[in-house]
Amino acid sequence: MVLEEINENVQNQTSKDVKKDSLKPFTLELINVIRDAQQQHGLRHGDFQRYRGYCSRRISRLRKVLKIPQGDRRHYKKRNVTDEHMNNALLDERLLHIPLMLAERSWAYAMQLRQESNTEQRKKFHMVRKLRKASRYASQLEELCKSERCDARTKLEVQAYVAWIHGNLYFELQKWSAAAENLKKAQVVYEK
């Protein structure tokens, strides 16, 4: 009796260990993903509105494929990507694209508002709100990448991206020392 219980416990533990080991690490080449998307969808010509539309459509497609909807046609229920999703063996690195595209969409909207703020001063406040939102999504991406599921290169690139987004925000808020610190941090990582 006791031996059977011990054998069952050992089998349960080994099956859990096998599940953890079977989770392949996520590799997200963040710089390449962003650069390719920006070049192909409007930023080659400085069209931030077109790029923002692309980011929105990409988020919708990713949520549909990964089965993380935000409600049905009538009801909206916010669903962020969480650690629970990260530990799901069925999902892949496209999971990290959702918070990345959310940050990129907010950043693109802020840059569009920056172009429009030359004529209307109120757009500057809206731009700062969008940059704050982009930095929130970037921080969310960084938290997801801190899990064991992501490899070292992905973690480093995400840290640089977050520093760059925060640097842009602090630059617009005219917090020069914080902006310089974050932008230098991003520059060091990108150079290496």
What pLDDT does residue 166 have?
97
Q: Where are the beta strands (DSSP E) in the chain?
A: none
Q: Quick: pLDDT tens for 147-175.
A: 888 889 999 999 999 999 999 999 999 99
Taking the CA atoms of the chain, what radius of gyration do you get in angstroms? 20
What pLDDT does residue 10 have?
45
| CB-side neighbour CA atoms (13 Å) of 70 | 11
Mean pLDDT value of segment 172-187 = 95
Mean pLDDT value of segment 131-150 = 92
The Cα–Cα gap between 125 and 85 comes to 34
Q: Which amino acid type is present at position 55? A: C
Mean pLDDT value of segment 46-60 = 94
What pLDDT does residue 17 have?
46
Tokens of 78: 């916010």
Q: Quick: pLDDT tens for 10-19.
A: 455 444 443 4
Mean pLDDT value of segment 69-96 = 82
For residue 99, give Cα distances in angstroms to 133, 142, 151.
Answer: 11, 9, 17
Q: Give yes or no for residue 25 having a pLDDT over 70.
A: yes
Question: For residues 70 and 124, which has the higher predicted lDDT (pLDDT)?
Answer: 124
User: 9: pLDDT confidence band, cut at 50, 70 and 90?
Assistant: low
pTM for the whole structure:
0.84
